[in-house]
């Protein structure tokens, strides 16, 4: 302990909890609008706001609507928006070439947002699952998710996103060697300031279910992702993955999912002291929102408590579908 404890009644912990003013003054961790990254789902079309049954309150937006969302985010003070495309099933193939099409939905959305709201950082998803007839994040050959060929495909995808103006690339695929390959390709292409927020410690989780509905990958996915995403029983391995990704050129690192893995967030921050983010994933969102919609919990309070927990666990920021709702409560930050 850093302080020597006086004995009761000299020490009464309830003194600093007795009023809102004292509670505010003694609060150790605080959430700000500047800590938020807002993940949004995009789809083709015009003026489309399409509900997603398993994610109440989170729609798929057409590009014109996502530009409006980015404007709203900027007004609220949210620093970054993260794009996830719902790809037309007709464009999904086993070779996934739509992933690096400069005119695919995600790349068109990046250009539209950067043209209209240049001050907002646009983050992308680098993984093949939205474009893959097999629903996997990597190329599948004879039932095996092949690593090295997938990395070559991911590099093409990352370069197309950087060329479109992406500020933050988010490789969520969990292939080995992808950060180094992307960083080398970005440098060679003159994209020296494009940042990589690596999904370094991404677990094979049941909490991604609603997301897979949102991007239309649930039907396509054959099997599970356990040969590339982490075993939920592991903790030391997360540190080795973070060390590896940092050594290959990641600027920021992520732990995913969020709330079931707060212990990993804390270990990562304490061990490396690097910009550390958590992804409060779709299943976490839908649990809180679903319970709130039934009147079983206070949705607003549960949302704010869950987000503050990430700050307490050492995170510098949170990817959360609650971003605009939380931002409205938090108000602008200095
Ligand atoms: C896939 C990807 C997933 C998420 C982000 N990128 C799902 C998966 O790995 O199957 C999950 C996000 C969420 O659940 O909110 N590349």
The owner of tokens 């193939």 is 93
- pLDDT confidence bin for 170, thresholds 50/70/90: very high
Tell me which of 150, 281, 287, 289 to substitute to probe ligand 1's pocket, judged by most ligand atoms within 8 Å of the beta carbon: 281
The catalytic position among 92, 114, 225, 256 is 256
User: What superfamily would CATH give domain 30-330?
Assistant: Aldolase class I (3.20.20.70)
Is the CB of 127 inside a 6 Å radius of any atom of ligand 1?
A: yes
Task: Write down the domain spans for the chain.
Answer: 30-330
Distance 129 CA to ligand 1 centre (A): 9
Is the CB of 212 inside a 6 Å radius of any atom of ligand 1?
A: yes
Task: Give residue-wise pLDDT tens across range 291-316.
Answer: 999 999 999 999 999 999 999 999 99
Is the CB of 150 inside a 6 Å radius of any atom of ligand 1?
A: no
pLDDT at 1 over 80: no
Task: Give residue-wise pLDDT tens across range 131-141.
Answer: 999 999 999 99
pLDDT at 220 over 90: no
The catalytic position among 92, 114, 202, 269 is 202
pLDDT at 2 over 70: no
Task: Give residue-wise pLDDT tens across range 73-130.
Answer: 999 999 999 999 999 999 999 999 999 999 999 999 999 999 999 999 999 999 999 9
Atom of ligand 1 nearest to the CA of 170: 6
Catalytic annotation on 202?
Answer: yes
Instruction: Determine contact, residues 2/288, Cβ cutoff 8 Å.
Output: no
**E strands present in 8-91:** 36-42, 49-51, 59-61, 80-85
- End-to-end, the C-alpha distance of the chain in Å comes to 33
Task: Give residue-wise pLDDT tens across range 233-248.
Answer: 999 999 999 999 999 9
69: nearest Cα among 35, 102, 109: 109
Q: What is the pLDDT of residue 219?
A: 78
Is the CB of 321 inside a 6 Å radius of any atom of ligand 1?
A: no
Residues found in the chain: 334
Is the CB of 211 inside a 6 Å radius of any atom of ligand 1?
A: yes
DSSP classification of residue 46: S
% of the chain with per-residue pLDDT over 90: 94
């Amino acid at each position: 302990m850093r302080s020597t404890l006086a004995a009761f009644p000299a020490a009464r912990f309830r003194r600093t909890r007795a009023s809102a003013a004292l509670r505010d003054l003694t609060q150790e961790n605080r959430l700000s609008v500047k800590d938020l990254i807002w993940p949004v789902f995009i789809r083709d079309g015009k003026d489309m706001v399409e509900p997603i049954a398993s994610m109440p309150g989170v729609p798929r937006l057409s590009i014109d609507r996502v530009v409006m969302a980015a404007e709203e985010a900027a007004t609220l003070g949210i620093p970054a928006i993260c794009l996830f495309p719902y790809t037309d099933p007709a464009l999904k193939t086993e070779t996934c070439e739509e992933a690096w099409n400069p005119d695919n939905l995600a790349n068109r959305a990046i250009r539209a947002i950067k043209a209209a709201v240049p001050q907002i950082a646009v983050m992308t998803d680098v993984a093949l699952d939205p474009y893959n007839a097999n629903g996997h994040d990597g190329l599948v050959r004879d039932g095996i998710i092949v690593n090295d060929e997938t990395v070559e495909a991911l590099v093409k995808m990352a370069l197309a996103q950087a060329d479109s103006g992406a500020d933050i690339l988010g490789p969520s695929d969990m292939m080995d060697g992808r950060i180094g390959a992307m960083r080398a390709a970005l440098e060679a292409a003159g994209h020296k300031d494009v940042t990589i927020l690596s999904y370094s410690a991404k677990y094979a989780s049941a909490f991604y279910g609603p997301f897979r509905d949102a991007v239309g990958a649930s039907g396509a996915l054959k099997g599970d992702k356990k040969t590339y995403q982490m075993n939920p029983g592991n903790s030391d391995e997360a540190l080795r993955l973070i060390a590896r990704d940092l050594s290959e050129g990641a600027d920021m690192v992520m732990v995913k999912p969020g709330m079931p893995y707060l212990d990993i967030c804390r270990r990562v921050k304490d061990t490396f002291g690097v910009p550390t983010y958590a992804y409060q994933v779709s299943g976490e969102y839908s649990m809180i929102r679903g319970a709130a919609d039934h009147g079983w919990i206070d949705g607003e309070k549960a949302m704010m408590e869950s987000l503050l927990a990430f700050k307490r666990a050492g995170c510098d920021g949170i990817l959360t579908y609650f971003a605009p709702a939380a931002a409205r409560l938090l108000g602008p930050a200095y």
